[in-house]
Amino acid sequence: MLTENSTSSHPAAPRLLYDLREASGELSIYAPPTARKKFLRLPQVKESTGLSRTAIYRKIAAREFPRPIHIRLRSVAWVEADVLGWMDKQEQLSRDSEQPG
């Protein structure tokens, strides 16, 4: 198996090492930057979900949508993974309701 030192001289080495670790199912610190958490502000959440500000906050009150976190005294944001998870759940619920039962 390749090690970090044996591939470090090649430009594709970080990706190759990640591919090998990914194939083996091993989690590592070599995960791509997209695996990092990202905060979304309200305009981004509205654009991603297609919901209005009012609909988002009504769903939060009804515990049907992820709650935002405070990033400053008077500023909130949503964790992107939470919003994406909610969207996946909505998609699955929609597909399940379309299935003849």
Task: Name the token pair of 14.
Answer: 């970080």
Domain ranges of the chain: 4-34, 37-98
pTM recorded for the entire structure: 0.63
Per-residue pLDDT reduced to its tens digit, 30-87: 555 556 889 999 999 999 999 999 999 999 999 999 999 999 999 999 999 999 999 9
Q: Is residue 4 within 8 Å of residue 21, measured between CB atoms?
A: no
Q: Where are the beta strands (DSSP E) in 1-101?
A: 39-40, 69-72, 75-79
pLDDT of res. 6 = 46
Q: Report the alpha-carbon distance of residue 91 to residue 83 in Å, rounded.
A: 12
The CATH fold assigned to 37-98 is Recoverin; domain 1 (1.10.238)
